[in-house]
Amino acid sequence: MTSPKRKTIQTMKPATAAKKLGVLLSATPAEFQAGVVSRDELNELQSTPPAWLADLRRNGPHPKQVIAAKLRVSISGLARSGITGPLTTAEIDALKAENPAWLERERSIQAETRKEALRLKQR
């Protein structure tokens, strides 16, 4: 007879958890950055975010994947335009209001890329 296997707890580094939560690791509390995050803890953070997480998601600073999504451009488009660091929600809103030429160009490139991907998927 074999003994039942113990269930191991899945853990991840804080950087991985921050990416999954859509926040910038350096903006998270020190205790979050110092420890490891279990799958259950991540699920809890996603389902009932604490005040610090809700504030980070609302006001930033945001990582590049969130910035790109909010501006409706690709991460490569951000790099081409010279945006390499985190931005706050206010800075993103200011960019949207200003609507510079690079933003219009990158949005059209992104729209064409999505259209082409959809066309290829329907084949």
Tell me, what's the pLDDT at 37? Answer: 87
Tell me, what's the pLDDT at 123? Answer: 80
Tokens, residue 45: 């953070």
Per-residue pLDDT tens for 72-114?
999 999 999 999 899 999 999 999 999 999 999 999 999 999 9
Single-letter residue type at 14: P
Give DSSP secondary structure letters for 17-77.
HHHHHTS-GGGS-HHHHHS-EEHHHHHHHHHS--HHHHHHHHH-PBPHHHHHHHHTS-HHH
Tell me, what's the pLDDT at 72? Answer: 93
Please check the confidence at residue 121 and state whether its pLDDT lies above 90: no
Please check the confidence at residue 1 and state whether its pLDDT lies above 60: no
What average pLDDT score do residues 4-9 get? 73
What average pLDDT score do residues 45-60 get? 91
pTM of the model: 0.78
Tell me, what's the pLDDT at 105? Answer: 93
Give the separation between CA 113 and CA 88, rounded to whole angstroms: 27
